[in-house]
Every structure is written in C-alpha cells, then in structure tokens.
Amino acid sequence: MYIRKTKVVCTIGPASSPPEIMRALILGGMNVARINFSHGTQEEHLTRVTDLKKLRSELDKPVALLADTKGPEIRIKTFKEGSVKLDAGQSFTITTKEVEGTDKIVSVSYNDFPKVVKKGARIMIDDGLIELRAEAVNDTDVMCNVVNGGFLSDRKSINLPGTKTNMPYMDESDKIDIKFAYDNDFDYIALSFVRSPDDVITTVLELVASRLPKYMKLDVLQDIQVLTPMRKSSLGVTSLNAALQQRLNPPGKGKKEREFRSALFREGDKVMQIKNNYDISWYSYDARGRRTDEGEGVFNGDCGLVKSIDEQNETVRVLFDDNRTVDYDFSQLEELDLAYAVTIHKSQGSEYRVVVIPVHSGPPMLLSRNLLYTAVTRARQLAVLVGVPETLYRMVDNNREVNRCTALERRIKKLFDGDMEE
C-alpha cells in the first residue's frame, strides 16, 4: 500500500480562496492552509478561514491552519515609469537617498541597508526573480551587479540571504495578527526573520513570558513547556533554563536560593526529578495543611515547584503536579534539575497544553524527523516552532534511525536457554 509522507502546504490567497477552489485543494491532498498576513485584510482572512473550516468539516479532512506573519519588510520604492527592465551583467544601485527610480538606481525603505549589506552579499528582489550581487558599498549606496535580470516594478520586496539585519523581527501589526490567529483557532504560527540563536532565545522568552499567557490565558509554569533537542549549546536545556529562570522567576527580596554544583535553585522554580527514587517519602496535604496521604517514590520526569528552601534544616521542599510534597536534603539535589526547558527525550510520555520548540543548528543525530514528531505531538492544543526554516527542512528530511547497541537480547536468550536445559 502506498503511503504519502510528504505534507502539502497551500497558500490561500485571492486566486485560491473561492470555496470551489479550496474544495479541490482539500480533495487534492492539501494538509496545511497557509494564510499570508503580508497581504490582505483581517476581514478577507476571516472569510477564507470561515470557508475553509466549513469545507474541512463537510469533507471530514484534517486540514491545519498556518498563520504566516509579515515580519519586517525591506522594499524598493518607486520608478519614474512604474517599472524597468534589468539585464544580466549591468550595474544597478540601491540607495537610501530619495530618488526617482530608473534602470540605474532605486531608493530602498530600509535606512540601514548600506550598513548591513557587505561586498559580495546576495540581494534577492521580488521573491528571488531578480538577483543582484553587491560590488561596493558607501554610506548611502549599495552598487550591484545584476546576476539574474528581468522586469522590476514598484515596491517589490528585498531578501538578504546570509545577511543579518538589525530590524525587529516582530512589530505591533504582527502581534495583532497573532492575536487574530489565536482567536480563530489556527494550529501553527510562522514568524519570519528569526535568524540567530539570540533571536530564537528572545522570541522564546517573549512567547513563554507574555505573548502566549496573555492571548491564551495560560498558566506560565503549568501550561507551557519548552522542548529542545539538546542539553548543550546556546539553545540547549542548560542555557534556556538559565534564561527562562531569570525571566520567569528572577531573584527577589526574601526569595531563598540554593546553589548545587552548576545549578541554582530558587523558591518558585519549576523543577523535574531526573532519576527514579523508590525510597524517598512524600506527603499530601489538604487546604488546611493537614496530612491526608503519604507514600514513597518519586520518578524520572515528575515535575513540580520549589515551595521553600530551609537553610537551617538543609532541605528543599517541592510540590509536585499531583499534589505530593517531598522534602529533599541538600545532598539529594543532584536528583533535581530546572524544568522550564527539558530535552525532547525527557518529554516522552508527557503531554502539555502548549509546547515551544527552538529549531536552529545542532548535531544531525539530534535534528531528526522522529525527534521533531515526538516534540510536536507532546502538545495537546498548540505547538510553536521558533527558528530557521532550513533546519526544520533538514529535520523533516532526516529520517535516519540510530541503532541501539544492547546486549539485552543475548542475555534474555541465555536465560531462556538455561531454563530450557533445566
């Protein structure tokens, strides 16, 4: 039996928004309907979304909705005649000065354009139909050679592959569009122009600390979980936990702390048990502080909050999600780790209302389709991927499975053969 593994993403715009066209797209295999917020009004988008929801319900097809935010834009300005023809090999200048556009020069909307574009940089205009290469740069002008020519008209967009800009990756209009996406039950949000690990961390912090709790009425610690493929690197568990701890639970007057090896635990922190402990005692209390139950055992992956740190008795009290309270000796803190961010591997078997997943560079073994699938399916309501599309594409393409080297099979056979001989 043939099983299609490729997912089809279709942009729903003016040409594809008539209901009969959307019906044909759904029946033809569309898996995700992309709404591009760079164009159109929210009223137009709402009509398309409403029609799509009716069609997918009628056809009983699970078509996801993806909101693609506008992000920062760099555009050329206007030409004297409305358009020009550029030939491969000719010279063409992009300037921050106000000029009437010709086939020799045109103005640009981004005032720092000459500051960020370096000699040799690629400049793509009109979704890559026109390609330029920077040959020289001064305070106001970028002098280019035309690599791929064609007709160029007013206000076309510019992309700068491999060039980092100093533009904010999200503005107020993007926030309004994200609110629209949440109100209308979109499944995915694509945020343009996130490039460096610092951009990713900044976006993750804003999502977890303010944007998601505000728009979805979430409890920051209970409802949102950051999942990352790795422990090390700037986007690993250690770095993300430090950044999230500082943002979500900063030091405060009267807030006690305890440092253990490389970890710093603070009252109010979200923590995880990272090894099975079958002997540690736990207790449950009612609202009046009366003990109602007790038992033994806390297990790998259990999450809770640090309720208090007692320096005199050298204990840390943790209230776990299932209302069990455990008092850890300071010597037992090796069993705990901060849990604002956890590895995808550690999240297996758990579910969260919302997951946020940084997607950037890393070892190929940790950037796999299986790991991505595991992370996305931990979310009950919403999964947000933050990073660069190229890494996401590599993860989807990387279907390599790592063989586990174990002697378990041989040992079981040996035991079984021994039983048979007896």
Place of tokens 């796999």: 368
Q: According to the model, what pLDDT value does residue 365 have? A: 80
Is the pLDDT at 231 greater than 90, yes or no? Answer: no
Would you state the pLDDT for residue 413?
Answer: 79
Residue-wise pLDDT for 127-146, tens only, equals 788 999 999 999 999 999 99
Flag whether pLDDT at 405 surpasses 70: no
Q: Which phi and psi (to 5°) does residue 70 adopt?
A: -70, -45
What pLDDT, on the 0 to 100 scale, is given for residue 398? 82
Residues 246-267: what's their mean pLDDT?
92
The reported pLDDT for the residue numbered 182 is 87
Q: How many CB atoms within 10 Å of residue 138?
A: 9
Task: Please name the residues in contact with 375: beta carbons below 8 A apart, sequence gap of 6 or more.
Answer: 227, 229, 344, 347, 355, 357, 383
Confidence of residue 404 (pLDDT cuts 50, 70, 90): low
Over residues 334-348, the pLDDT tens digits come to 999 999 999 999 998
Contact between residue 280 and residue 332 where contact means Cβ atoms under 8 Å apart: yes
Q: Is the pLDDT of residue 419 over 60?
A: no
Q: What is the pLDDT of residue 101?
A: 96
Given a cut of 70, is residue 77 above it in pLDDT? yes
Q: Going by DSSP bridges, is the β-strand pair 341-343/336-338 parallel, antiparallel, or unpaired?
A: unpaired
Query: Please, what is the average pLDDT of the chain?
Result: 89
Least confident interval from 76-90, 114-128, 360-374: 360-374
**What is the pLDDT, as a whole number, of residue 127?**
76
Question: Over 90: is that where the pLDDT of 329 sits?
Answer: yes
Residue 185 to residue 20: CA distance in whole angstroms: 23
pLDDT value of position 71: 75
- Residue 141 is predicted with a pLDDT of 97
Range with the largest mean pLDDT of 135-144, 194-203, 233-242: 135-144
| 150 or 393, greater pLDDT | 150
Say yes or no to pLDDT of 193 above 70. Answer: no
Percent of the chain with pLDDT over 90: 62
Q: What is the mean pLDDT of residues 181-193?
A: 82
Rg (alpha carbons) of the chain, rounded to whole number: 27
Please determine, for residue 120, whether its predicted confidence score (pLDDT) is greater than 90: yes
Q: What is the pTM of this model?
A: 0.64
pLDDT in tens, 79-115: 999 999 999 999 999 999 999 999 999 999 999 999 9
Q: Categorize the per-residue pLDDT at 5 as very low, low, confident or very high, splitting at 50, 70 and 90.
A: low
End-to-end Cα, the chain, rounded Å: 46
Q: Predicted confidence band at 20 (pLDDT cuts at 50, 70, 90)? A: very high
**Residue 207 or 387, more confident:** 207
pLDDT band at 171 (very low <50, low <70, confident <90, very high): confident
Number of CB atoms found within 10 A of residue 376's CB: 15
Residues for the chain: how many in total? 422
- Indicate the helix (H) or strand (E) that contains 307: strand 303-310
Would the pLDDT of 2 be above 70?
no
